[in-house]
Structure 1
């Protein structure tokens, strides 16, 4: 069986089998194009052509001003299991867009033996959220790299710890829901001293210099080791999105404004990595997005409102909506 088909401007007789082969090739090319994206201004403007959410009204990152944030009495974020060693082996990967640490889940037998996967709760989080992974955004210069801007400061690097709402089995499913995921954001600023917790990741970076290279770390670490001794009582929170395609508007953001230290040696290792489009993997941060009618809340720390039971009786933090 043959069909007439217009191919590259010419009419040819071609078998149905060939038509199917061409369709498969074009589909695979389309998928490949969608899986790669760049961070230049022109590339970011094209994100929405393949991912409609990138043109949404709840996009991230945003610029946060303390003076424009709404102080709110709410619980601190409980970081459950952050002091426990992560399940291993931990996979460190340069995916061409960032450096990511995939955190494997403990097996059923481990959980029955008392182990559990780290999770978070509290704040205005709509549930309990289990950790999925960690990744970073950094710049070619020390005065840029972070995605969010806090009080007109763009820090050298930003770390995201991604969590999935436990009521959804997989992260991909969770990202289809408004309450699907939560991201804790932490900022790094240049310092004379190394960040000791970051050293566990930093030493493996030369092994994943090129895009799509990965390595299994022969040791594990705790999530709390990445957070040093910063103040975790104060944070900003708002409703937003993934900062990379598909830009799913499923994220409850929690941002801790006190920066972590990173030495020039440590940040230089991030800057030596390569991406799949532009060469050097640097400036991998998305441009700022409009806040629109969203509220940004800042946790109001008050000694008279430290107990969760008192907060629940007050219920103000539950009634306050994310939007004006």
Structure 2
């Protein structure tokens, strides 16, 4: 009898970094040791109301994508608008741009949506990257934008002052989210392993994720990317009101793997993609502003 044995590569963690070892990131990514890093623990009583944020309200103009690329990259689930490729952030179709403006962003500037990322915990007592008054949420959804008024593409905007804006949605467990259901009817099972990508034909507009369509109540501060290379120059917008997602929906995320199918995690690790959040960082004198009192 001849036994066919498949060789499986053993890999300790994917792509050079792991959230469980976030304290070691600065060894390979010097920006991670910066003074203005993200995420933070937001203390609502210390946030400063800034009426300037209301003079030119935060405005969102998102288009509906008829096709959407969804990727498990071993660190996150990432949603890419279809007019944009997974490997590049170059603008391919200037007539169908999803942009934001106003609020804390520089006057006259527009920031274009690059991608949407999800962070979640093994348990519902943790998962969000940012905390509010010491409380973590089960999940945080981050909509990543780049400044099209100053830069030619997302890569050029990285690490530059006012280059990136990330709008963040806290997630609570509650009723089923129809936008998530439409986007992920069976998709998460199809991208269970790192490197798996799926294109869905379901119409999707990120506006459907927003719990407050008027965009009135939010906090904002200057920080960094929350994953390597951890470049600073990021304007964060954290919405006050959370979006809802069902327990079953968040459990679908917890079934994903941080390894590809031909890799085997070492040291008995189950290899599940869980707790993909960076610990909070000190404010170091930064001011958190609020659009509400």
Q: TM-score, normalised by structure 1?
A: 0.76
Determine the C-alpha separation between the residues in 2 that align with 1:62 and 1:68: 13
Q: Deviations over 1:50-83 (max 9, x none)?
A: 1100000010000001110111111331001x2x
**1:291 corresponds to which residue?**
283
Distance apart, 1:104 and its partner CA = 3.7
Aligned to 2:79, which of 101, 107, 129?
Answer: 101
Q: Aligned partners of 2:222 and 2:283: how far apart in 1?
A: 10
Structure 1 residue 246 displacement after superposition: 0.1
* Residue 55 in structure 1 maps to residue 33 in structure 2: yes
Question: Counting helix residues as a fraction of each chain, which structure ranks higher?
Answer: 1
Corresponding residue for 1:184?
Answer: 167
Does the CA-based 8 Å contact 1:197-1:227 persist in structure 2? no
**TM score, norm. by length of structure 2:** 0.84
Task: Map residues 63-74 of structure 1 onto 2, 5 A cutoff.
Answer: 63-73=41-51, 74=53
Determine the C-alpha separation between the residues in 1 that align with 2:176 and 2:287: 36
Q: Tell me the CA shift for residue 300 of structure 1.
A: 3.0
TM-aligned CA distance change 1:34 to 1:53, over 3 Å: farther
Aligned-residue Cα RMSD (Å) equals 2.2
**Structure 1 residue 230: deviation in Å?**
5.8
Question: Where do residues 120-139 of structure 1 align in structure 2 (5 Å cutoff)?
Answer: 120-126=100-106, 127-139=109-121
- Higher gyration radius (CA): 1
Distance 1:102 1:109 in 2: 13
Residue 34 of structure 1 contacts residue 50 of structure 1 at CA under 8 Å; is this kept in 2?
A: no
Contact 1:235 1:255 in 2 (8 A): yes
> Do structure 1's residue 255 and structure 2's residue 235 form an aligned pair?
no
1:77 aligns with 2:58: yes
Q: 5+ residue gaps in structure 1? A: 1-32, 302-324
Name the SS for the 1:250 alignment partner. Answer: strand
The CA deviation at 1:265 is 0.7
Q: Which runs of 5+ in 2 are unaligned?
A: 1-12, 85-89, 260-264
More relative contact order, 1 or 2 (CA 8 Å, 6+ apart) = 2
Instruction: Give the Cα–Cα distance (whole angstroms) in 2 for the partners of residues 198 and 255 of structure 1.
Output: 20
Q: Distance in 1 between matches of 2:243 and 2:14?
A: 34
Q: Distance in 1 between matches of 2:214 and 2:125?
A: 23
Question: What is the rounded CA distance, in whole Å, between the counterparts of 1:275 and 1:47 in structure 2?
Answer: 18
Specify the alignment match of 2:180 in structure 1: 198
Instruction: Give the conservation status (yes or no) of the 8 Å contact 2:49–2:289.
Output: yes
Q: Which residue of 1 aligns with 2:225?
A: 242
Maintained 8 Å contact 1:150/1:257: no
Matched position secondary structure for 1:67: helix
**Alpha-carbon offset, residue 199 of structure 1:** 1.0
In structure 2, distance between residues paired with 1:207 and 1:229: 31
Matched, 1:164 2:146: yes
Q: How many residues end up aligned between the 2 structures?
A: 261
SS in 2 for 1:164: strand
Contact 2:111 2:147 in 1 (8 A): yes
Secondary structure at the residue paired with 2:241? strand
Q: Offset at 1:108?
A: 9.0
How far has the Cα of 1:151 moved from its partner?
2.3
